[in-house]
Amino acid sequence: MSDRTGFALYRITLAKNLIAAGEVDEGAAHAVGSLEHLEEVESGRVTQRLAEAAGALGNVEAASAREAAGELAEYVQTRGAA
């Protein structure tokens, strides 16, 4: 695993924890920000964590959460399938 991928996984985990704690906007920002550290989804673990973060955001009734969930899901769908 590259350092960039490790950092992205850290940010995704942080995002999930922030979302669970009710800090949805900050969590959404970290989740989407993690994508800049991934050149491609290179493992099942990355794909799973991105999907989990998207699911957590999708359960929140806030525009920022829905938008972030959409970005994460699109990334997984387009880059993860490559």
> How far from chain centre, in Å, is Cα 43?
14
pLDDT given for residue 80 in this prediction? 58
CA 59 – CA 51 distance, rounded (Å): 12
3-state secondary structure the chain: CCHHHHHHHHHHHHHHHHHHCCCHHHHHHHHHHHHHHCCCCCCHHHHHHHHHHHHHHHCCCCHHHHHHHHHHHHHHHHHHCC
pLDDT digits (tens, 9 = 90+) for 21-58: 999 999 999 999 988 887 665 677 888 888 889 999 98
pLDDT given for residue 13 in this prediction? 93
Indicate whether this model's pTM tops 0.75.
Answer: yes
**What pLDDT band is residue 15 in, cutting at 50, 70 and 90?**
very high
User: Which has the higher per-residue pLDDT, 79 or 13?
Assistant: 13
